[in-house]
Structure 1
Amino acid sequence: MNGLYNGTSIKSHRARIPAYINIGIDSIEQSTPFVYLFVLPGMFQEILLYDKVRVEIQTYCHREYSRVLVVSVEVERMGSSKEDLTVKLKTSPGLISEDIRFKLIKCVDRVCSKTGETMEAEYPDSKPTIPVSIVYDEISDIVLTSNIHVLTVYYFMSCGVSIGETNRSYDRAIKAFEAGTLVEDHVKAWEELWNNGRIDVEGNRNLSTSIYSSLYYLLSSVPSHPDQYNWPFMGMSPTGLAHGVDEDVDYAGHVFWDQDTWMFPSIMLLHSTIGKILVQSRLDKLTTARLLAKYRGLPGAVFPWESAYTGLPTSNCPNCSRYEIHISADVSLALRQYLFLTNDSDFLEHGGTDTLMDLATFWAARVTLNPDTKLYEIHEVMGPDEWHFPVNNSAYTNTAARLAIETGVTAMIRRGQSPPSHWTDIINNMYIPLDNQYQYHPEYDRYSRGTNVKQADVILLGYPLMDKTLTKDVQENDLNYYAQVTPRGPAMTWSMFAINFLEVGNSTLAEKYFIKQSDNILPPFNVWTENADGSGAVNFHTGMGGYLQSILFGYGGIRVLEDRLNFDPQLMSSVASWNITGLDYGGNSFDMKFDRENMFITLTKSQHPVAVYLYHTQAQEQCFPHKTLSYPRQKAAFKLLPVIEIV
């Protein structure tokens, strides 16, 4: 249940709901289970074989009825026996939740309901504790009478913030079950997701399953549509919805820059409607971000390094909270990508411009003019490399801040407003550290060459920041240097090395780092760990997001610009071809296929006139629905065309 947190301030963590229908078989017989995760229909399946019965347990969070957990138990008679057979079920709800205080508990006709609230408010003066309501079926043994060969029993559990909402969700599931559409509704909802946006490769099964499972885990943590009961989506955490008890283990379920920089870009390209929900989760916290800026004595808006229910700071790392302010540029970057990918004027009118303007206002106030160089600097920060702080003039932070101010200018102009004149001066005169001798970017002022760094930092100036002042030679030098001083790193680090090495034309090193990401994928269900040795956060969505970016923005060469969407497809050495189904741009959707020689582009959904522009010949061809355009594989772009009104 997204947004359900318990604990004050830095102790805030995802509240654990007991799993009342976590079902197993209570048997003295031994059975080797066959366990599967089917990502296409979104189902977890266990098959247990005994002497007289075969038991199949399916568990899934229903995609259509998103507040409902479903468990079905199918019992099949084995052999010719005609006797009555009883399968004893057991439940493992876990320990009593220390996060939720249930006040009212009742059971009627084997359906139980509980209502209560979380134990501690995150910030009591801001928002109170969170109400919780749960409805679930009691578990009972399954009896296979002599005249029954196969029997399937369903159990449901629903949760929400009110008993009315929870009962509605439970009743919808019951009605679908009675109509015989329960499973079909779930499978169709997942089928629609896959058909609307996915990546396929031909010739490498392991790569294919890694891509599918990564996208599955990300999509499992986000809704397909805005919540119909006014319980807004509050953001993605690095470990998804199933984890978040301990800050030191799984980030307490908090929202970081991981959502904006690592998970959002690929989701937005493949599922723009879901991307809009992620964007809205930031816009919804603008008032809180303004309060935090005011508290810190600055104008504009500041997003905390970690946030949860209230949008106020929840990190237990004081130095991160104080210095790692680049998140207020990372949020701006995500909103910038959304704006350029959609040209959504409604977004600008309803919070987008205000948020981007306030973020730019914050950064314009945070800079310091050096009287000697006449350049603007940013002091006392922590960049993505959290091993070094506080530092002055983080190359990443200064570049991202400059881009945030530039995006604020763009948003205001699009809305018909005049941005402050000194913003342009800051944009044109932001100081970015550059070593003239080695022609590379030191990570920050006084960075000592040879010092190891934690993760991808400076190399992000190429992608995703797309720094316009970055030359190819300096980018290559940055990559080659920082590859030597990044001895290890969280999973997403290697995706950025892969993308940026591809950008400078070094496919050999790009492939090395692309493959290196697989060290963080654990069998049998392709669950990612934060670190390659299995340590750190588990089910690490941040790594999965980076992995998908290394395909779309790396091998796909996709770059989001204000007036176009560039792509420059390449092939991994292990595949014969690969496809993007449902790439979203400008209200349109495209299917794209790339092989060794050619690329094929089909407009599948059309909302705005669009053309394919070829850089080599400067030729431009308009796309028409369901007509496939084919070209030799090359750098190209989608460009929106003017709408011609016929009077």
Structure 2
Amino acid sequence: MWRFLARNKHVAAMMAVLGVAAMVVIVLTTKGTSHGVSKTHLDETEDISDDPHIFSTYDLPADDRFMPSIGNGHIATNVFSSTVHINGLYNGLRGESRRARIPAYANIRLNSTLTHHPFRPVYSLDTSDAVFKVRVDRERSVVTQRIYAHRYYTRTIVNQIQVVSKPHADPNFIHHEIWIAVKLLPGPDSEDIDFETPIPEIVDGRTVWTACGSTREVEDPTFQPLPTEVCVCWTSVPDHLVVPQHGSRVFTFPMTADKNKSVARSELLQVLQEDGEELFQKHVKSWHQLYQQAALEIEGNLHLSKIVNAIWYYFLSSLPSEESYQPLGPFYGLSPTGLARGVLLDDYHGHNFWDTEIWMFPTILMLYPKYARLLLQYRLDTAYEAAHHARDTGNSGYRFPWESAYTGVEVTSSCCPEVAEFEQHITGCISFAARQFLAVTRDEDWLKRGGCSIVTNIADFWASRAVINYNTGLYDIENVMGPDEDHSNVTNSVFTNVVAGYSLYLAQYVACLCKSYYAAKDPEHWADIAWSLALPYDEEADYHPQFSGYRRGEGIKQADAVLLGFPLQYNMKQSTRSNDLSYYESVTRSNGPAMTWSMHAIGHLDLGEDDLATQLFNRSYQGYVREPFKVWSEVRRPDVGAVNFFTGMGGFLQTLVFGYAGVRVRLDRLEITRPRLPPSTTKFTIRGMKYLGANLTFEVNQNSATLKVHSLDSTWMLNLFNGKYNVTLVPDMTVTLSGEGPFTIHSAPWKECKYPGDVIGHNYLRPKDT
């Protein structure tokens, strides 16, 4: 990922172009309460709600970047923003590619929220119903505005303003009509899209506008010969809404956007025919169905519960709907700040990085494996470009770019050429995500529809990158950069070599799985290279140097070598794991990105160092989560970095699921070890955990843990080993897990294929894990 400081010079210019004031915010640091609820800072406001799913405030954040987003995977915006984005709409050539800005014809404001007004509004984000609400209790009426990206009518952002008149105490009082002043604030014309002059038409007495245009630049002429077309439709918004003196009314103002004019227009017309309340309930029903499938539930710590609920709301807002009024097109990935952001360079322009596969993917896989497959599908859809990228750089197979967007070509900004050139570990991270996906799902259809090819072609890339060193007899991978971007163009990055080795071993395994319909080349050669890859290890200090030639004491940007312990789960001595953690904690930037400390927390939990884990768990989110809407910043206060930072959210969720709950995904089993409660909580539940088609609920209490089986896939018989006995799982069974484990859930080997050895660097002394 780009260096934060390298990007700052670009941000002010971009914000000025968009009409956004660049701000320097000074904040105060205050201690939290006993349950970790942080006091508000100067750039934030207080969340006054006691509901874990609702965040309410009287005052909006001073920094607009901390406003929440609404979205449905196709269309998204930040509340009260002048920008709307749709999935897969980018403008700009290669390094200039960014999410194309559509003016926000959905940005409707009540005048009472724009000026000093005697009636104080209450602003609320309801993550359960996925709606932002503004409520103004006036002298003669109660006005409620609902803003949401419809989960069923997926091309639509809806504004609904409900006006309910109040009865007067004096029956003889003469009422007059109630007038509510509103404004439509779409912002300036788009610099990314050449829109034609909007065309009005009258539909059932309402004025409907349609504007179509094309992006101004293609991302790459080879893979995108023509600009992308887009059409936007919206309804006129009057200056005032008028309601009878004794009445009530709901006013609905939709905006639609799509790359197909007929799709955008027909959806708007359909939405206008819906009853206002039924339209809203149809949206709520879709969200509730999604939440019924899975959740992470925390009791005893309201603040922590709110953060978790916010993360899932933001994640799912950027992922496509399961059911929609009109068919959905291809999905273009999950970027570090979600679908609602990406115009600004500071928000990574809406590009895709390793953040998706390493940081967001793991918990999405455990709860919503269908979305995990969709994230991998984006990589399959861009594999052709990855093949070109490999050939252009003198390699074989697939080399995925550090940043990708619409076409799949390299789109890293000119600010940071070294990351595009050297940070090649993303290709191994994609293979690692495929490995986890196959372990959890055994999805044969995915293998047949490109999975076999992507795994083996990634292995071919690493085989072509590994060069024999005749002095050591090992393979080196030169000219790379690990996750620590403070060191570039190194040899044998320990993280890179392990994900490369895993990629090679996975291809050997997949070659067996696919052998009846996919012919792989010499699978044993892949395993031979993996076995002989160099793996930096300092025997005297008993730790992993980040790369060959790393000098102890050099500062680093973020978690790198510690990722071997988790998520890679590379086998090593406990003393090595402990030394990796303690050493790198002493040299990692204090203002590094949010996700780093989550991995350190998991490491200490694995070692039974709960007090240290608590400190680092708190460090992983305190200072990053911004009130009142639980929006994450990339960098701790007083800095900001990217907003809303999905990568940090993903690391935080992994601490809960894979750290405190002790869940581990391995190719041959699902493992649970030493489950315990997160700090200051009374119960932690993973509801709807998926494994080989089974639907499970795992509950951790103060002194016990239970696993309930809701349903099973008849294809895979599952057994639970509780430390003494194998128990065959059946629907509606609840099993109590006593002790620390490990408890394993396993099935028969898949197609009787031998699991990979995963031994990297045969010269490395590797005692059994203790």
TM class, shorter-length:
over 0.9
> Separation in 2 of the partners of 1:263 and 1:245?
21
* Alignment-mate amino acid for residue 364 of structure 1: A
Deviation at 1:170, TM superposition (A): 2.3
* Alignment-mate amino acid for residue 11 of structure 1: E
Q: Report the counterpart of residue 266 of structure 1 in structure 2.
A: 363
Larger CA deviation: 475-484 vs 133-142: 133-142
> Separation in 2 of the partners of 1:185 and 1:230?
18
Deviation at 1:457, TM superposition (A): 0.2
Instruction: Please state if 1:536 is matched with 2:635.
Output: no
Deviation at 1:544, TM superposition (A): 0.6
Aligned-partner SS, 1:518: coil
Deviation at 1:642, TM superposition (A): 8.4
Q: Report the counterpart of residue 552 of structure 1 in structure 2.
A: 657
- Residue 24 of structure 1 is aligned with which of 109, 115, 118? 109
Deviation at 1:88, TM superposition (A): 1.8
Unaligned runs of 5+ in 2: 1-85, 169-173, 751-770
Instruction: Please state if 1:183 is matched with 2:183.
Output: no
Instruction: Please state if 1:103 is matched with 2:196.
Output: yes
Q: Report the counterpart of residue 99 of structure 2 in structure 1.
A: 14
Q: Report the counterpart of residue 239 of structure 1 in structure 2.
A: 337
* Alignment-mate amino acid for residue 22 of structure 1: N
Q: Report the counterpart of residue 123 of structure 2 in structure 1.
A: 35
> Separation in 1 of the partners of 2:189 and 2:273?
31
Aligned-partner SS, 1:239: coil
Q: Report the counterpart of residue 720 of structure 2 in structure 1.
A: 613
Distance 1:145 1:457, change over 3 A: closer
Aligned-partner SS, 1:181: helix
Deviation at 1:495, TM superposition (A): 0.8
Deviation at 1:518, TM superposition (A): 2.3
* Alignment-mate amino acid for residue 666 of structure 2: L
CA contact 2:425–2:496 (8 Å) conserved in 1: yes
* Alignment-mate amino acid for residue 640 of structure 1: S
> Separation in 2 of the partners of 1:29 and 1:532?
32
* Alignment-mate amino acid for residue 110 of structure 2: I
Distance 1:83 1:29, change over 3 A: farther
Q: Report the counterpart of residue 604 of structure 2 in structure 1.
A: 501
Q: Report the counterpart of residue 566 of structure 1 in structure 2.
A: 671
Deviation at 1:347, TM superposition (A): 0.8
> Separation in 2 of the partners of 1:195 and 1:232?
25
* Alignment-mate amino acid for residue 52 of structure 1: R
Deviation at 1:565, TM superposition (A): 1.0
Q: Deviations over 1:214-242 (max 9, x none)?
A: 11111111113388646200101101111
> Separation in 1 of the partners of 2:598 and 2:108?
38
Q: How many residues align?
A: 640
Deviation at 1:485, TM superposition (A): 0.8
Q: Deviations over 1:109-164 (max 9, x none)?
A: 21111111111111123212111011111112454444443211011111111012
Instruction: Please state if 1:473 is matched with 2:583.
Output: no
Deviation at 1:53, TM superposition (A): 3.1
- Residue 380 of structure 2 is aligned with which of 277, 283, 289? 283
Q: Deviations over 1:300-329 (max 9, x none)?
A: 001000010000010012101000000000
Instruction: Please state if 1:57 is matched with 2:145.
Output: yes
> Separation in 1 of the partners of 2:367 and 2:151?
18
Instruction: Please state if 1:201 is matched with 2:298.
Output: yes
* Alignment-mate amino acid for residue 350 of structure 1: R
Q: Report the counterpart of residue 521 of structure 1 in structure 2.
A: 625
> Separation in 2 of the partners of 1:137 and 1:342?
45
* Alignment-mate amino acid for residue 613 of structure 1: L
1:314-329 to structure 2, matched below 5 A, reads 314-316=411-413, 317-329=416-428
- Residue 410 of structure 1 is aligned with which of 509, 512, 520? 509
Deviation at 1:575, TM superposition (A): 1.4
Aligned-partner SS, 2:537: coil
Aligned-partner SS, 2:404: coil
> Separation in 2 of the partners of 1:29 and 1:330?
51
Identity of aligned residues (%): 35
- Residue 586 of structure 2 is aligned with which of 467, 476, 484? 484
> Separation in 2 of the partners of 1:536 and 1:438?
35
Aligned-partner SS, 2:288: helix
Aligned-partner SS, 1:56: strand
CA contact 2:366–2:689 (8 Å) conserved in 1: yes
Instruction: Please state if 1:602 is matched with 2:708.
Output: yes
Instruction: Please state if 1:339 is matched with 2:438.
Output: yes
> Separation in 2 of the partners of 1:161 and 1:362?
35
CA contact 2:632–2:646 (8 Å) conserved in 1: yes
- Residue 555 of structure 2 is aligned with which of 432, 452, 458? 452
- Residue 137 of structure 1 is aligned with which of 235, 254, 257? 235
CA contact 2:163–2:243 (8 Å) conserved in 1: no
Q: Report the counterpart of residue 254 of structure 1 in structure 2.
A: 351
1:48-197 to structure 2, matched below 5 A, reads 48-78=136-166, 80=168, 82-103=175-196, 105-109=198-202, 110-127=207-224, 128-177=226-275, 181-197=278-294
CA contact 2:165–2:245 (8 Å) conserved in 1: no
Deviation at 1:58, TM superposition (A): 0.8
CA contact 1:225–1:277 (8 Å) conserved in 2: no
CA contact 2:699–2:707 (8 Å) conserved in 1: yes
> Separation in 2 of the partners of 1:579 and 1:403?
31
> Separation in 2 of the partners of 1:221 and 1:423?
37
Q: Report the counterpart of residue 68 of structure 2 in structure 1.
A: none
Larger CA deviation: 49-58 vs 230-239: 49-58
Instruction: Please state if 1:214 is matched with 2:317.
Output: no
Higher relative contact order (CA 8 A, sep 6+): 2
Q: Deviations over 1:16-75 (max 9, x none)?
A: 111112111235661422111110110111112333333211101111222110111112
Unaligned runs of 5+ in 1: none
Aligned-partner SS, 1:238: coil
Q: Report the counterpart of residue 461 of structure 2 in structure 1.
A: 362
CA contact 2:95–2:411 (8 Å) conserved in 1: yes
Aligned-partner SS, 2:735: strand
* Alignment-mate amino acid for residue 336 of structure 1: R
Instruction: Please state if 1:629 is matched with 2:735.
Output: yes
> Separation in 2 of the partners of 1:537 and 1:143?
38
* Alignment-mate amino acid for residue 231 of structure 1: G
Aligned-partner SS, 2:397: coil
Give the TM-score, by structure 2 length: 0.81
Give the TM-score, by structure 1 length: 0.96
CA contact 1:239–1:251 (8 Å) conserved in 2: yes
CA contact 2:721–2:745 (8 Å) conserved in 1: no
